[in-house]
């Protein structure tokens, strides 16, 4: 390993499936060490927060002694998860994760109680989906009142890990404006917790963490951890906000994430408030906004269909008129929390490879429907889509995005962009600089570019017609 040119920082990505750690040279962005440890998720889409902490410890150990030279650390985490802690900072129950849609009935009642989707969008910037934290708290209050009554602190996943680092799990807990903007109880209009919504959800604001400003430290590392005692702990943020930081995104340039879930987002100077609920009006981890559309079914759903077919994930074939809507776990974009997967147009001549390609088409279509809503009107339609996430490395995913979007695509060489964004936030705090500027200096978005190809209008029309015709069926529960 070459000698670092600057101080070292640590970026953490605590995702649904695992915790990843990068040790990064703050001057150059070079990754000098990495570690990763898996999580276990139940069939009900919940997870024990204590295992996230153990996974962080193991991932840090894998990085070796270089960890002891770090000067700052930041944690990015999966958005929307509900972490409930008792008075001693221990989890009251497993965390309810973002992809748990059991709270759809509570979501429906909350939306109606506030006056409908437009009222939510105006106050919070978003119409809550069943993934939002406020709906999960309402579910907990209704179905597990004893657990809700025992709760002395309500946190998001990144808040929980940040609190474990600083020793402020309950008293003195913190969050950031990016991640908290996905809870449903923080007002993007006022930049503060919305007391009216907290009243509807029967949530005491005293249970919530303080919202830090960009560049404000959450604290310092407490003694007894596999990190240097007393180093700075940055605010941390949600995984999508960290991904935007990791890319050093500027307004008008879209990013499309292909992971367990899919997301399309772009930085905006204007506060978004989409009453249709297609676009979530998140804040970013700095001072701007991050309008974002998210799908629940992305690489995991397509891989499941490939497994059912007995095919490798890249074994797609062109042709045919099959439409697959791969909503295997309900869906968020479009808003179909009770939906299942749907196949339409299957014929004797349809091949397994065509079925698989149709699954890719259905997953990408859901994201591209929201692309124009995410971008400002002034955005250049020729600006390449930055393709990130595990799926970005797959030829079938990349070519499907090109064919259905009609836009150029760029695939950053940098991996683990969420952890890299967290590292940029830690470096920004340490150096007194804007985190996105730090990432742009690191040239994190560099990578191979692919020219635009003509849009496959026939496939897009088939998908749109099928979704429209099947809407009522997909909403049944």
Rg (CA), the chain: 21
Identified catalytic residue from 239, 288, 329, 361: 239
Catalytic residue flag (residue 239)? yes
For residues 15 and 99, is the Cβ–Cβ distance under 8 A?
Answer: no
| Cβ neighbours for 144, distance < 8 A, ≥ 6 positions apart | 93
Q: Which helix (H) or strand (E) holds 401?
A: helix 395-405
450 vs 83: CA distance, rounded Å: 41
Question: How far is C-alpha 305 from the geometric centre of its chain's CA atoms?
Answer: 23
Beta strands in 244-339 (DSSP E): 255-258, 262-265, 280-283, 289-295, 323-325
Q: Using DSSP bridges, classify how beta strands 289-295 and 280-283 pair: parallel, antiparallel or unpaired.
A: antiparallel
Tokens 């971008």 correspond to what residue?
Answer: 375
- SS3 track for 343-383: EECCCCCCCHHHHHHHHHHHHHHHHHCCHHHHCCCCCCCCC
Token reading at 98: 């973002």
Catalytic (active-site) positions: 239
């Amino acid at each position: 390993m070459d000698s670092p040119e600057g101080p070292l920082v640590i970026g953490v990505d605590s995702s649904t499936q695992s915790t990843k750690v990068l040790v990064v040279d703050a001057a150059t962005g070079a990754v000098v060490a990495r570690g990763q440890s898996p999580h276990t998720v139940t069939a009900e889409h919940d997870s024990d927060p204590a295992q996230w902490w153990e996974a962080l410890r193991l991932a840090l150990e894998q990085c070796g002694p270089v960890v002891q030279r770090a000067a700052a650390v930041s944690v990015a985490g999966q958005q929307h998860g509900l972490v409930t802690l008792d008075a001693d900072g221990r989890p009251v129950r497993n965390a309810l994760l973002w992809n748990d849609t059991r709270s759809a009935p509570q979501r429906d009642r909350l939306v109606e109680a506030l006056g409908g989707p437009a009222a939510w969008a105006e106050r919070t910037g978003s119409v809550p989906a069943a993934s939002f934290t406020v709906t999960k708290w309402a579910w907990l209050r209704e179905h597990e009142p004893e657990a809700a009554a025992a709760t002395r602190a309500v946190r998001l996943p990144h808040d929980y890990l940040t609190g474990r680092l600083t020793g402020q799990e309950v008293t003195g807990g913190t969050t950031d404006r990016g991640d908290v903007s996905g809870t449903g109880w923080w007002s993007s209009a006022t930049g503060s917790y919305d007391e009216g919504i907290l009243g509807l959800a029967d949530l005491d604001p005293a249970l919530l963490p303080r919202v830090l400003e960009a560049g404000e430290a959450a604290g310092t590392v407490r003694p007894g951890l596999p990190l240097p005692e007393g180093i700075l702990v940055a605010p941390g943020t949600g995984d999508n906000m960290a991904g935007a930081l990791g890319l050093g995104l500027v307004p008008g340039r879209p990013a499309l994430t292909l992971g367990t879930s899919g997301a399309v987002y772009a930085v905006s100077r204007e506060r978004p408030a989409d009453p249709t609920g297609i676009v979530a009006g998140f804040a970013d981890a700095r001072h701007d906004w991050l309008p974002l559309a998210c799908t629940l079914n992305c690489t995991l759903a397509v891989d499941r269909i490939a497994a059912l077919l007995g095919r490798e994930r890249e074994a797609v074939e062109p042709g045919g008129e099959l439409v697959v809507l791969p909503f295997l776990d309900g869906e968020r974009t479009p808003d179909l929390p009770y939906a299942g997967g749907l196949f339409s147009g299957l014929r004797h001549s349809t091949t397994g490879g065509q079925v698989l390609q149709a699954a890719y088409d259905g997953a990408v279509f859901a994201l591209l429907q929201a692309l124009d809503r995410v971008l400002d009107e002034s955005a250049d339609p020729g600006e390449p889509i930055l393709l990130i996430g595990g799926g970005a490395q797959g030829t079938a995913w990349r070519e499907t995005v090109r064919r259905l979007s009609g836009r150029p695509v760029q695939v950053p060489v940098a991996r683990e962009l969420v952890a890299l964004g967290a590292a940029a936030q830690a470096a920004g705090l340490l150096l007194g600089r804007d985190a996105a500027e730090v990432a742009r200096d690191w040239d994190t978005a560099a990578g191979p570019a692919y020219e635009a190809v003509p849009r496959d209008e026939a496939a897009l029309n088939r998908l749109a017609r099928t979704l429209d015709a099947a809407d009522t069926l997909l909403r049944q529960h």
